[in-house]
Amino acid sequence: MTIVRTLGQFIIEKQADFPYAKGELSRLLRDIGIAAKIVNREVNKAGLVDILGELDSTNIQGETQKKLDVYANEQFISALKSGGECCIVVSEENDDYLYIDSEISKNAKYIVAIDPLDGSSNIDVNVAVGTIFSIYRRKSVEGKATLHDVLQNGTEQVAAGYVIYGSSTMLVYTTGKGVNGFTLDPSIGEFCLSHPEMKIPKDGTIYSINEGYYVHFPDGVKKYIKFCQEEDKATKRPYTSRYIGSMVADIHRNMIKGGIFIYPTTSSAPLGKLRLVYECNPIAFIIEQAGGRATTGFTRILELEVTSLHQRSAIFIGSENMVLKAEEFMREYSRLTDDETEARLESLGIIGGID
Ligand code: P6P
C-alpha cells in the first residue's frame, strides 16, 4: 500500500532542511495551499455560478479584470492575512503593495508576491489556468516593512511555486532544495505528493511561443522558430509547436515533457509582456531548481535588477539545451550594441532624456 504524504506532512518533514526555521515558512506554505484549495473549488464550478465573465474594472496592467481574478486575489490575501506569517503582499491585481497592518502580521518575516489567477482569459473556455507565488524574507529587521523589502532580485527568493487548475489540480513548489509536485485528492481535500524531486529534461522537442506575433519578434527569435521548424531527423526536428496561452500550463507541460517557452520582447511589448516579480522570477526559480534554464535571451532572469512592482521582462525558459540554442540565435541576430540599447531605452523614456 503506498503511503500518502500530504503537503502539510511534507512541509513539516522538510522544515528540518532549514536549521533556523521556527515553522513560519511552513505555516506560510500551508496557508497558500489552503487558499489554493478554495480557489480550486470555485474554478472547478466556474461555469455553474455567476463568477465567470468580466468586471467593468481593469487592473494596473490595463487588463479587464475577470470576476475569478478578483475572487482568487481576495482568497489568497485573506489566507495570508489570517496566517500571520506575511507582512506584505504584492499582487498582479493590486496597483501598490499591500502592507498587512495587523498585530499578528506587521512584524512577520515574509513578503509574498502573487499572480492569483494567471491566464484567466482562458477561464471562460475551460482551459487550464494557474496561480504563481514567490516568497522573500523581509530585509528590514524591525518596524514597518517597505518597498525596500519588496524590490529584491529573484536570487533572494526563499520559496516559489505554482498551482495549475487543470485536468487535475497540482501545487508545485521549491524552497531551494529541489522541486516537488502535489496533486489535490478531492476525496480527502488534501494535496498529496505525486511528483517527488521533479526534473525538467535537458532536451525537448516542444517549442511554445505565440507565433501570431511573428512579424514583431526580434530577428533572433524568428531565426530560432525557423530552426525549430526545419527537417532534421538527427535532432528530432521539426519540433512540435504547443501554446496554451496560460504560462503555468505551458511551463508545467514542458516541466514534464521537456520544451522551451518564449515570451520575447515585441514591438508592442518592448520590455516583454510577462511580469518579473510574480511571474518570471518564481517560475525561473522553480525551473532552475528542476535543472532547467531561464534567461531574457541574454541575461539570467533571477539576476535581473528589480526596480518596480509590475516591471516586465522577456523570458526564454525550459530545457537547458533548448534555451542555450535559442540564446545562440539571439546573440547572433539580436544582440544590440550598447549605443543601440541606450537609444532604445531612451526612446522608451526609460533612461536619459536629461543632459
Ligand atoms: P498572449 C496570460 O495573460 C499571460 O500572462 C500568461 O499566462 C501567458 O503565457 C501570456 O500572458 C499569454 O499572452 O499575448 O500570448 O495572449
CATH for 326: 3.40.190.80
- What residue owns the CA closest to ligand 1's atom 1? 245
Structure confidence at residue 299 (pLDDT): 95
State in Å: Cα 274 to ligand 1 middle: 7
Q: Are residues 212 and 231 in the same domain?
A: yes
Do 306 and 328 fall into the same domain? yes
Q: By mean pLDDT, which of 41-45, 142-146, 224-228, 345-349 is the weakest?
A: 345-349
Bridge-based pairing state of the strands 315-318 and 260-263: antiparallel
Residue 215 CA to ligand 1 centre (angstroms): 18
- The candidate with the shortest Cα–Cα distance to 127, out of 262, 246, 274, 254, is 246
Place of cell 507541460: 253
- Any bridge partners for residue 161, and if so which? 133, 173
What mean pLDDT is predicted for residues 165-180? 95
Specify whether 180 is located in the same domain as 117. yes
Query: Could you give the CA distance from residue 309 to residue 205 in angstroms, rounded to a whole number?
Result: 34
Instruction: Please give the share of the chain, as a percent, with pLDDT higher than 70.
Output: 90
Yes or no: say if 160 and 135 are a contact pair by the CB < 8 Å rule. yes
- Residue-wise pLDDT tens digits, 42-72: 888 766 655 555 666 666 666 666 688 899 9
pLDDT given for residue 328 in this prediction = 98
Give the pLDDT band of residue 4 (cuts 50, 70, 90).
Answer: confident
Q: For residue 67, what pLDDT is reported?
A: 80
Same domain, 42 and 153: yes
Query: 284 is in which domain, residue-wise?
Result: 206-347
**Per-residue pLDDT at 69:** 87
Report if residue 355 sits inside a domain: no
Closest CA to 66 of 56, 78, 79: 56
Show the CA angle centred on residue 295, arms to residues 337 and 353, nearest 5°.
Answer: 40
Judge whether 165 lies within some domain.
Answer: yes
Tell me the DSSP string of 113-131.
Answer: EEEEEETGGGGGGT--EEE
Q: How confident is the model at residue 253 (pLDDT cuts 50, 70, 90)?
A: very high
Task: Give the residue from 164, 195, 226 where a domain finishes.
Answer: 195
Q: pLDDT for 92-111, tens place per residue? A: 999 999 999 988 888 899 99
Distance from residue 82's CA to the centre of ligand 1 (Å):
31
Distance CA 325, CA 64 (A): 36
CA of 246, closest atom in ligand 1: 7
pLDDT for 354 equals: 39
Q: Is the pLDDT of residue 16 over 60?
A: yes
Confidence of residue 355 (pLDDT cuts 50, 70, 90): very low
pLDDT number for residue 164: 97
71 and 176 in a single domain? The answer is yes
Per-residue pLDDT band for 333 (boundaries 50, 70, 90) equals very high
User: Backbone phi, then psi, for 304, in 5-degree steps?
Assistant: -70, 140
Q: Of how many residues is the chain composed? A: 355
**Range of weakest confidence among 10-19, 90-99, 302-311, 342-351:** 342-351
Q: Are residues 157 and 45 in the same domain?
A: yes
Atom of ligand 1 nearest to the CA of 119: 2
pTM of the prediction? 0.92
Residue 354 inside a domain? The answer is no
Domain boundary among 167, 195, 223: 195
Classify residue 352: in a domain, yes or no.
no
Q: Which residue, judged by its Cα, is nearest atom 9 of ligand 1?
A: 247
Q: Which of 160, 195, 230 corresponds to the end of one domain?
A: 195
Q: What pLDDT score does 94 carry?
A: 95
CATH of the domain at 137: 3.30.540.10
166 and 101 within one domain: yes
| Residue located via cell numbers 525561473 | 284
What pLDDT does residue 353 have? 43
Mean model confidence pLDDT for the chain: 90
Gyration radius of the chain's alpha carbons: 20
Region 328-350 average pLDDT: 79
Q: CA 313 to CA 265: how far, in whole Å?
A: 8
| In the block, residue with C-alpha cell 489552503 | 34
| pLDDT tens-digit readout, 266-323 | 988 889 999 999 999 999 999 999 999 999 999 999 999 999 999 999 999 999 999 9
Tell me, yes or no, whether 53 and 188 share the same domain: yes
Indicate the top mutation candidate among 274, 310, 312, 315 to test ligand 1's pocket, ranked by most ligand atoms within 8 A of CB.
274
**Nearby residues of 266 by Cβ (< 8 Å), 6 or more positions away:** 213, 216, 217, 273
Q: If you ran DSSP here, which 8-state letter would residue 62 be given?
A: S
Contacts of 279 (CB under 8 A, 6+ apart): 92, 115, 118, 132, 247
**Helical segments of 114-270, H only:** 147-150, 219-229, 247-257
Clarify whether residues 126 and 28 are in a common domain.
Answer: yes
Q: Are residues 156 and 275 in the same domain?
A: no
Cβ–Cβ < 8 Å for 72, 127: no
Residues 184, 248, single domain; the answer is: no
Residues 238, 121 share a domain: no
Residue closest via CA to ligand 1's atom 3 equals 119
The count of domains in the chain is 2
In this prediction, residue 349 carries a pLDDT of: 73
pLDDT at res. 50: 58
Strand partners for 171: 163, 182
